A and B are shown apart, each in its own frame.
Chain A
Amino acid sequence: MNLSNLKNADAKEVAKLLNSSGREAFVQRFATLGLPHKKTEEYHYFDVDKILNKEYKTLEYVPKTIAEGDKVKIVDGIVVTAPQGLRINYETCKQLDIMHFDPLYFVGHLLSHRIIKIEIDGDTDIEIEHHFTKSDTLIHYRIVLSTQANRHATVHESFVSKDISNTLVLYGYDIHVAQDSTLRLVKLQTMKDAQYSMVASHKINVARNAHMMLKSFDFGGDQALQLLKVELAEHAHIDAGHLLYLNEDSKRGTVSQIIHQGEYSTSKQEAKNILDGQARGIFDALIRVEHSAKFTKAEQNAKSILLHEKAYMVSKPQLEIYIDELEASHGATTGQLDEKQLFYLQSRGISHLEARKILVIAFANTLIEQVKDTRAQERIKTAFEEVFYASNTNEG
């Protein structure tokens, strides 16, 4: 399959190419948005043409019997193991967001005729591990994740790949955080080698009085973009944090829209980006406060450190506000390591290289330490230090 065939295709052609009869509204929406290209705003800083203009192998998605395991293990889009008692089904997606801003959200859905539905019905911790084993392949799947009212759950997400190349992963969540419930999603992505590209397109609904915490830690290579659309109901809250560490010529980041729809909804979004080599980081984030969302609070901040003169950060924090009764702030800074802090450490006998490492790790830790689970926190710290130390063994 070559996704570039969808370029300029009308609804009829899209339905035929994606074999998606019966889903006319979604097809029509995609046809209206069009296949993203380098001039599409959300993909403007991402090399989307490079990953779409390729011939990929496709897979047959045949559900297997799910074996009992300590985690939800998804191999090339098929659930292989799951903890006992966790309800997982394959079914047709009925709750697709017809107004999502991301064209590839629709492509992912239209390609994935059946979604993986995970229902969290208790106060629990779940680990979801995505495995990718195929080269030169388009791997696509969608997951619907929902909590029950008054429940508090944590999902730890990680990614594993081995000896693959030139694969595109198109996946994402449709998350429903039920009234008065809490969902914490901690996403850790490390790829030591450039093995696959990824577009992760999510939709998150946070119901009345519900809380969503989303912390993404991306220390990967090559190309990946996470696109988030979050809708907040009355008194709903999201705490989103994104830590990005990039090196070499990787291009990765976050494009997000947080939409306050209900009164007294609150959002906090913080991005910390560390870029080395010729990497390009992306943080293109909009918070929109609609007419219905009086007395909301919205806070957005992006801080970036460039460790190399050729590293480049695109920071676009944006507020779109339609009411007066709210508190909102946003800001972005991009710079190098603080000279005063570096000197202070060196003046105590700590080498320049070590001082640099200490400051970068400290910068990252302020976000990592927001993950309250100490085991998860240690795992993320270790992952970051491994990736960072591996690329900072010598004075640059």
Chain B
Amino acid sequence: MSTTMKIENLQAKIGDKQILKGLNLELEPGKVHAIMGPNGAGKSTLSKAIVGHYDIEILGGDITYKGKSILEMEAEERALEGVFLSFQHPVEIPGVNNAYFLRTALNAKLKHEGKDELNAAEFLREMKKHLEMLGMKSDMISRSLNEGFSGGEKKRNEILQMLILEPEVIILDEIDSGLDIDALRAVSEGINKMKDGKRTFLVITHYSRILDYIEPDYIHVLKDGKVIKTAGPELVPYLEEHGYDGIEED
């Protein structure tokens, strides 16, 4: 199996508590990997470790992306290399115009790739089509970043960023939490639009609901800081019925 990202024996802590205890995971290019597991298993910690969150202290192991370790890279370098996290709880930033933020992020990426930056008019044209697809009101891009957005609007805004930045590894941390059925459908449509057989998805979720819309290729069960089982999508109904307790380690 070829690998986009390889996580080997990853151990990490937040504060004094070790959360990841030798986690191994390989992400195959173009595939959708779903991570499921009980509360406290380390799902969000894994996503934070991949993007270089300041809360996380790596104790051991490695994360390699395109064959290179990324552990020493700053968060922005990982992002520029194509790693994207859709946050479970996107922060509100009063005073930062959403469109300005999105254009700054896109231009940082274009510059990193040696391409021409977009001016405001070009950017707005580019963004308009995404807004329509996500069912976002046009005034959301002129408002302050995530300020006063509902839970659903924040998640749509995360997907908008994903569509604009076109990352290669996309981590969706509980993208389905707090979404009504229409928002879930719109968000899923945005995600499916990005499934082109090249991009890799890591979908972190508690529930199988999102997986009805985004068909996963692999299900990984995370428990007590380790991946204890990897299987195909057929594992989802089993987990629905039996929960995580009945899962035996591979």
Contact = CB atoms under 8 A, between A and B. Distances in A.
A347 interface: yes
A341 B94 CA distance: 10
B74 A358 contact: no
Interface string B72-88: 00111001100011010
Main secondary structure of the interface of A (DSSP, over half): helix
Contacts of B87: 344, 347
Contacts of B108: 348-351, 354
Contacts of B95: 361-366, 369
A196 to B, nearest CB: 31
Contacts of A341: 91, 93
A159 interface: no
A346 interface: yes
Contact of B79 (A338, A340, A347): A347
Most buried by A among B74, B93, B105: B93
Contacts of B96: 358-359, 362
Contacts, number: 69
A362 B94 CA distance: 7
Contact of A347 (B85, B94, B104): B85
A373 interface: no
Nearest to B164: A348
A339 interface: yes
A379 interface: no
A289 B51 CA distance: 52
A354 B75 CA distance: 13
B94 A350 contact: no
A185 B165 CA distance: 43
B75 A358 contact: no
Most buried by B among A339, A343, A355: A343
A352 B76 CA distance: 8
A349 B80 contact: yes
Given A354-B104, A362-B95, A362-B96, A347 B90 contact: no
Contacts of A344: 87, 90-91, 93
A286 interface: no
Interface string A178-212: 00000000000000000000000000000000000
Interface residues of B, number: 26
A319 interface: no
A338 B109 CA distance: 24
Contacts of B238: none
A80 interface: no
A395 to B, nearest CB: 11
Most buried by B among A338, A339, A348, A359: A348
B161 interface: yes
A358 B101 contact: yes
Contacts of A338: 91
A345 B96 CA distance: 10
A346 B79 contact: yes
Interface string B210-230: 000000000000000000000
Interface string A369-382: 10000000000000
Interface string B126-164: 000000000000000000100000000000000001000
Nearest to A338: B91
Given A347-B84, A358-B96, A358-B101, 14 more contacts: A338-B91, A343-B53, A343-B54, A344-B93, A346-B75, A347-B51, A349-B76, A349-B79, A349-B112, A349-B165, A354-B108, A362-B95, A366-B95, A369-B95
7 contacts: A346-B79, A347-B85, A349-B76, A350-B104, A354-B104, A358-B104, A366-B94
**Top 9 A-B pairs, shortest CB-CB distance:** A362-B95, A349-B79, A348-B105, A346-B75, A362-B96, A346-B76, A349-B108, A365-B95, A349-B80
